[in-house]
Amino acid sequence: MSDLQPVRGTHDFLPDDMRRFRRVVEAARDVAERYGYLEMATPIFEFSEVFKRTLGDTSDIVTKEMYSFVDKGGEALTLRPEATASVVRALISGGLSQHLPLKYFYAGPMFRYERPQKGRMRQFHQIGIELLGVAQPAGDVEVIACGAAILRDLELLDRTVLELNTLGDSESRMAYRQALVAYFGAHAHELSADSRGRLMRNPLRILDSKDPADRALVAGAPVFGDYLNQASRDFFAAVTAGLDGLGIVYQLNPRLVRGLDYYCHTAFEFTTTDLGAQGTVMGGGRYDGLVAIMGGPPTPGAGWAAGIERIAMMLAQSPPARRPIAVVPVGSTADAPAAAIAERLRRAGYAVDLGYGGNLGKRMKRADKLAAAAAVILGEDELAKGVASLRDLDSGQQTAVPLAELEERLARFR
C-alpha cells in the first residue's frame, strides 16, 4: 500500500462531502443573484504585491501565512489568501470603474499556511460578495441582508448571532488609535510579543489577540464608541435602522474590529457556538480605502466572505444523492440495446446507471447499493416484444412498458 497522503491541511471532498459543499455554494449563488450580485472568478494566484500592498507587510497573513513562490519567469507570485484584493485588482486592471456600482459574487479556494484544526484548513474555500461604488449606509445593510438570507436559506440563521460594530471614519479611527497606543503603551511590559510588535504599527489588531494576558488588558481598553465623531455616529445609526427595518436581529460588539487601515464604518460577523473555537461563519465590513491603496480611483466598497467548509459542517445532514435509473441488460444480446437506451434516457435528463457486467442478481444488488429509484430490465424476451420490464425499486411493482414510452413512464422517478 502506498504511503502517499494528502498534504497537511488539505482535504479530499468525497461525494458525501461534495454534496454538502455544493448545497452551500448553490444556495449562496441563488440568493446572491436575487440580490443582484453576479458571479465572477479571479485566478487563484496573483502577483505577491497584490496582497502585500493590501494586507500590509507586517500582517500575520503576509509574514507567516501566505504561500508565495517565484515562478520560472522570475515573477513573485502568491496563492490567494483571500479574495477581496483580487476582486479589486480585477476592477482596476479591467478598467471597470466607469461601470460602478458593481456587485459581484464569488466562490473558490483560498490558501493560508496556518495550524490545521476543525473548520480551518490550509486550502479552504469561501463564498463572498463585494459591493463596489456605493458609499451610502444602505450598501452595508444590503450586504448584511444578503448574508443573512443565505444562512436563512440553509436553515442556519437561527444558529448564528450577527455581531455588529462601527469602526468610524478616518478621523475617528485616528483618535481611537491614539487612545489605544496610550493605553497599551502604559501596559507594554504585560503584552505578548506579537502585540508589542503591533502597538505602533496597528494597535487595533491587539483587540483581536487570543493571548490570555492580552485579553485581560483588552477588557479594560478604551471603547471605540467614545471616539466616534458625529458623522460616524450618524452613519452607524442609519445602518442599524436599516437592519431594524428588515427585521434582522444583531448584537452590538464594541470589540469587533477589522485591523487594516482601509476598513471603516461597519464591521460585522455571523458567529456560532456549534463549531468550537472556530466560531466565525461569515465576516465582513466596509473598506472605502482599499481601491485607492491598490492604485485605483477612490471607490467605496463593502462585502463579506464565509467559509464553505464551516457552513457545510453545520448542515444537519448531507443533501441526498440523486437517485438514478438502473438499466439492466440480461444476456449478452441485450448489452448493445441497453447501452443505447441508457444514452437515450441520459439525453432526456435522467441519471442512469448501466452496470458493466454480472448476472441479473448482481446487477440488481448494484442498483440497490446505488439507491436506484427504478430498474429498466431488458432481456431477449423483452427486446423481441419491443418492451422493457420496469420495476419500481421501492414498491417492487413491475410492469411491461413499450420502449417508445420509457421516458414518459419514468417521469415519476425523476
* pLDDT for res 278: 67
Distance CA 163, CA 147 (A): 13
Residue 2 lies inside a defined structural domain of this protein: no
Q: Are residues 53 and 98 in the same domain?
A: yes
Same domain, 333 and 277: no
- With a CB cutoff of 8 Å and minimum separation 6, the contacts of 312 are 17, 20, 21, 23, 24
The answer to whether 353 touches 366, Cβ cutoff 8 Å, is yes
CB atoms within 10 A of CB 103: 22
Query: Pick from 295, 314, 333: which residue ends a domain?
Result: 314
pLDDT at 257: 81
The closest alpha carbon to 310, from 283, 348, 346, 337, belongs to 283
Number of domains in the chain: 2
Q: Is the dihedral of CA 104, 109, 115, 116 positive or negative?
A: positive
Q: The CATH number of the domain where 35 resides is what?
A: 3.30.930.10
Q: What pLDDT does 205 receive?
A: 81
One domain, residues 237 and 301 = yes
> Do residues 66 and 100 both lie within one domain?
yes
Structural domain range at position 256: 15-169+229-314
Residue 293's Cβ-side half-sphere holds a number of Cα atoms within 13 Å equal to: 21
78 part of a folded domain: yes
> Does residue 407 fall inside a structural domain?
yes
**Do 30 and 80 reside in the same domain of the chain?**
yes
Cα distance between residue 66 and residue 69, in whole Å: 10
pLDDT value of residue 64:
72
Q: Assess if residue 212 is contained within a domain.
A: no
| CA distance linking residue 193 with residue 22, whole number of Å | 42
SS (H, E, C) the chain: CCCCCCCCCCCCCCHHHHHHHHHHHHHHHHHHHHCCCEECCCCCEEEHHHHHHHHCCCCHHHHHHCCEEECCCCCEEEECCCCHHHHHHHHHHCCHHHHCCEEEEEEEEEECCCCCECCECCEEEEEEEEEECCCCHHHHHHHHHHHHHHHHHCCCHHHCEEEEEECCCHHHHHHHHHHHHHHHHHCHHHCCHHHHHHHHHCHHHHHHCCCHHHHHHHCCCCCHHHHCCHHHHHHHHHHHHHHHHCCCCCEECCCCCCCCCCCEEEEEEEECCCCCCCCEEEEEEECCCHHHHCCCCCCCEEEEEEEHHHHHHHCCCCCCCCCCEEEEECCHHHHHHHHHHHHHHHHCCCCEEECCCCCHHHHHHHHHHCCCCEEEEECHHHHHHCEEEEEECCCCCEEEEEHHHHHHHCHHHC
Q: What are phi and psi of 59, to 5 degrees?
A: -70, 155
Residue 195 lies in a domain: no
Phi, psi (rounded to 5 degrees) for 401: -125, 130
CATH number, position 371: 3.40.50.800
Whether 299 and 343 share a structural domain? no
Same domain, 391 and 283: no
The residue length of the chain stands at 414
Task: Identify whether residues 164 and 93 lie together within a single domain.
Answer: yes
Domain match, 27 and 56 both: yes
From 289, 314, 339, the end of a domain falls on 314
Instruction: Look at residue 59 in the predicted model and tell me its pLDDT.
Output: 59
Cell readout for 160 is: 448564528
Tell me what pLDDT residue 63 has: 61
pTM: predicted TM-score of the whole model, two decimal places = 0.89
pLDDT score for 302: 98
Query: Which pLDDT score is estimated for 57?
Result: 55
- Same domain as 365, residue 308: no
Q: Name the one residue in this structure whose C-alpha cell is 472556530.
A: 278
Is 213 contained in some domain? no
- For 349, half-sphere exposure in the C-beta direction (CA atoms, 13 angstrom radius) is 7
Tell me: do 81 and 165 sit in the same domain.
Answer: yes
Q: Is residue 387 part of a domain?
A: yes
289/355 same-domain check: no
pLDDT, mean of each 10-residue run, the chain (414 residues): 83 93 97 98 96 70 81 95 95 95 98 81 96 98 98 96 94 90 90 86 82 89 91 97 98 83 90 84 94 94 96 89 94 93 96 87 92 95 94 95 95 90
- 179, part of any domain: no
Residue 56: the pLDDT is 64
- How crowded is residue 411: how many other Cβ atoms within 10 Å of its Cβ? 11
Structural domain ending residue among the three candidates 291, 314, 337? 314
Q: Identify whether 101 is preceded by a cis peptide bond (ω within 30 of 0).
A: yes
